[in-house]
Amino acid sequence: PEVRLLGAARQLLEGLGFFEVITYSFQPDRLGSLLSGGETPAALRLANPLSEEQAMMRTSLLPGLLDALRRNTLKQAQDVRLFEISKVFEPRAGEDLPREEHCLAGLMYGAREEAAWNAARDPVNFFDLKGMVETLLEGLSIPEVAFTPEGLPEYLRYGARVFSGSRELGVLGELRPDIGDQLDLEGAIFGFNLNFAALCQASLPPRFTPLPRYPSVYRDMAMMLPEGVAAAQVTEALYAYGRPWLVDAVLFDVYVGDPVPPGKRSLAFRLSYRDPERTLTDDLVNPHHQALVAALAKDLGAELR
């Protein structure tokens, strides 16, 4: 299964425009301290390294990827997407040998699309990165993917931790600006760092369902909610209260400002209802939809706009 997932991950990331790199397992102190604000991290050090550039075993794939990013920009590469699947070496107290972890990490830098007469040179942002990771996890058949902004590592300016159910998979987000400054890189750098062993444990065999025989019924719904309520929380509630007919809930608009009161925001969803055994009518869907709206109002404080 691990070999199958390795191939699938490489194929998915290459399809998303990433290039695979292979960096050294040995690193100099200058790379090891990139993510820790200048402090050299606890790491397994070589007793007799061949050079200062191979003084310690890496504890993360990101420093090597950052060095590869810097080398590419020196060769006039403006838009870079890199990934690596390899091992890191975490020291263990009282043990001579480190704990080896199989990881998958990647970086995005530069513009969203290549320069063209009909495309703007918009820089990549957090949502580009999050969409890439979501596509990767979906392709690896990882279920119940969720994101939370709490408990991020210090090298991220902002971002999210990634979970599959209760199992943590890794982190993603924008790296602190001072990390790019140390490498003479202008602009934001976005990265993800995933535990590949956790991905293998979370991945499920693909399951197939028949194509729908009956049409869907659609409802658009715009709600005002407290700003502290995450869109993912609303989506989870929609699926919970929309059973068994709700098959899709897509967020298509987020709005803050007049006439929405301060401290609130408007989230608009397109809902798709479908029954595999019959055609749904408005008489069936309307009471079901109204019950869903009432449940959201009670549990999340949602108000229809």
Q: What is the pLDDT of residues 134-144, one digit of tens each?
A: 999 999 999 99
For the sheet containing 264-273, what is the strand order?
Answer: 246-255, 264-273, 217-226, 303-304
For residue 254, the model assigns a pLDDT of: 94
Residue-level pLDDT at 55: 80
Cβ-proximal residues to 92 (8 Å cutoff; 6+ apart), any chain: 98, 99
Residue 200 CA to residue 19 CA, distance in Å, equals: 22
pLDDT at site 45: 81
Please tell me the predicted confidence (pLDDT) of residue 36: 77
Q: Cα(6)–Cα(196) distance, rounded to whole angstroms?
A: 9
Q: Which residue has the tokens 């600006």?
A: 177
CB contact at 8 A, 203 and 192: no
Q: What is the pLDDT of residue 38?
A: 62
The tens digit of pLDDT for each residue in 37-52 reads: 666 677 788 888 777 7
Separation CA 119–CA 22 (nearest Å): 32
Q: Can you say how many angstroms the Cα of residue 33 is from the centroid of all Cα atoms in its chain?
A: 24
pTM of the model: 0.87
**What is the Cα–Cα distance from 56 to 90, expressed in whole angstroms?**
11
Pairing of strands 246-255, 303-304: unpaired
Which residue matches tokens 């956790």? Answer: 198
Residues of the chain with pLDDT under 70: 37-40
Q: In sequence order, what DSSP letters do the residues of 43-96 get, joined into one string?
A: -PBPSS-SSGGG-EE-S-SHHHHHHHHHHHHHTT--SEEEEEEEEEEE--TT-S
Q: How far apart are CA 76 and CA 291, in angstroms?
A: 57
Contact 105, 61 (CB under 8 A): yes
Judge contact between 43 and 57, C-beta under 8 A. yes
Cα angle 35-6-21, degrees, rounded to a multiple of 5: 45
Q: State the pLDDT at residue 40.
A: 67
**Position 107, amino acid:** L
SS3 call for 74: helix
